[in-house]
Homo-oligomer: A and B are copies of this chain.
Amino acid sequence: MKLTILGCHSATPRTNTNPTSQVLEIKNHMFLIDCGEGTQVELRRNKIKFNRIKHIFISHLHGDHYFGLIGLVSTFRLLTRETELHIYGPKGIKEIITLQLKLSDSWTNFPLIFHELTSKESELIFEDDKVKVYTIPLKHRIYTNGFLFREKENERKLDIGAVLNANIDRAYYQKLKQGADVVNEDGVLIDNISVTKDPIPPKSYAYCSDTAYNEDIIPIINNASVLYHESTFLDKNENLCERTKHSTARQAAIIAKKANVETLILGHYSTRYNGYEGFLLEASEEFDNVLLAKDGKSFDFSSLSLV
């Protein structure tokens, strides 16, 4: 599982900062999360193959999270893409995209499938044999969802010595991996746990941007491997959080602690500050394992867990 930050700044794109977009590589998927203006150029810069992106998750319809989407869809079209593209986002996103395709007389050659979201409860919006994606309802000025990406349980690992000792037919190995007890060659029921080892624990990634401090998300993101939580402001501007429905770095860290996540990544920085150390310092007073997002930076989740 690997996260690449294409942009992690709030409000407007600038010559040296990009609005929000990131790519999550999980079980052979390349999930694009949010798509601020300029995302297609950042994808190129980070050498991410356009064709591998089949699912795009849009948190909300503020421009710094989606103004790059129509350009990306249009570029896919110009590149004669045929692979289907799924877009998950708030109700309205389909109208925005299709209106522009219609007026430019440029329908896509590939299937463009919208999954419009309206629920205020967390819901399962994607599932295949290895991954589940849930929404995380957030508290912002307009309807907004975070997303929880969860690997499914991996298969149990065979304890080969024990399996051979137990005289189990090879035909049952797959059942053992799936956790079942099986009957051996001698007609004895073998307890699964006596011949298998625990699988590699599945990892999960919770993306929460944009949101005010909101403890309601804690049960949803509980024990996540990695939490990306917006931290638009520092303590000294905490007074802006209520009106803008954003969080401070400290608030992000309190959520991380209460939700018992392994690692917190901060991002969605206001561009009013010089440097990022303040975010790290204030969050680290509340929670131990804090990392800073940075445009163009990648996080490998297997090495993060060693921190």
Chain A residues with CB under 8 Å of chain B are 11-15, 37-38, 40-41, 44-45, 61-63, 67-68, 70-71, 74-75, 78, 90, 92, 95-96, 99-100, 103-106, 141-142
Contacts and interface: CB of A to CB of B under 8 A. Distances in A.
A41 B15 contact: yes
A7 to B, nearest CB: 12
- How many copies of the polypeptide does the oligomer hold? 2
A76 to B, nearest CB: 10
Contacts of A142: 103-105
A90 B106 CA distance: 16
23 contacts: A11-B75, A12-B71, A12-B74, A12-B75, A13-B40, A13-B71, A14-B44, A15-B44, A37-B37, A37-B38, A38-B38, A61-B100, A61-B104, A62-B104, A62-B106, A63-B74, A67-B74, A90-B103, A92-B103, A96-B99, A96-B103, A104-B142, A105-B141
Contacts of A41: 13-15, 38
Contacts of A14: 41, 44
A12 B63 contact: no
A105 B140 CA distance: 12
Contact of A67 (B11, B44, B61, B71): B71
A103 B11 contact: no
Contacts of A99: 92, 95-96, 99
A70 B74 contact: no
Given A38-B37, A71-B37, A63 B13 contact: no
Contacts of A95: 99
